[in-house]
Amino acid sequence: MGKQKLNNGSYLLDIAEKYLVENNIVKPHLQCERVSLGLSLMLKEMGIENRIRVAEIDISKYDGKLDCDVLEHHFIMIGRKVLDATASQFKGMPKVYYGSLPMWYNCH
């Protein structure tokens, strides 16, 4: 896979959005682990190296109601960039996010 294609980001965004459509995931709330694992495997089959990361995210960022203080959130890292196909469940985030690690993604 050419680094130029991956550095652009729109290629990865298109792949992630297509994955959501093909798997009939309309509202990805609380499906980050399932989506990230499946998308990660698909990317690896395409020759795109990646890894799953987990972050704790303050509940104030969640676009819904839950009875907890912190969410455990799964997403994909490709190099030093985040590919988050379930980003829309957080306030102010796009449907699919590709970019630098948001400061409020507290990784462990």
Instruction: Measure the CA–CA gap between 24 and 58, rounded to whole angstroms.
Output: 27
Per the structure, the count of domains in the chain is 1
| Per-residue pLDDT of the chain in tens (108 residues, 90 and over written 9) | 555 456 568 889 999 999 889 988 777 778 889 999 999 999 999 999 999 999 988 877 777 777 777 788 999 999 999 999 999 988 889 999 999 999 888 776
Please tell me the predicted confidence (pLDDT) of residue 87.
92
Please tell me the predicted confidence (pLDDT) of residue 6.
60
pTM of the model: 0.85
If 0-12 CB within 10 Å is exposed, 13-18 middle and 19+ buried, where does residue 1 land? exposed
Instruction: Measure the CA–CA gap between 42 and 39, rounded to whole angstroms.
Output: 5
Please tell me the predicted confidence (pLDDT) of residue 69.
76
Domain coverage including residue 43: 3-107
Rg (CA), the chain: 13
Strands (E), the chain: 51-58, 70-78, 81-84, 97-99, 106-107
Cross-strand pairs, 52 = 76
Please tell me the predicted confidence (pLDDT) of residue 84.
95
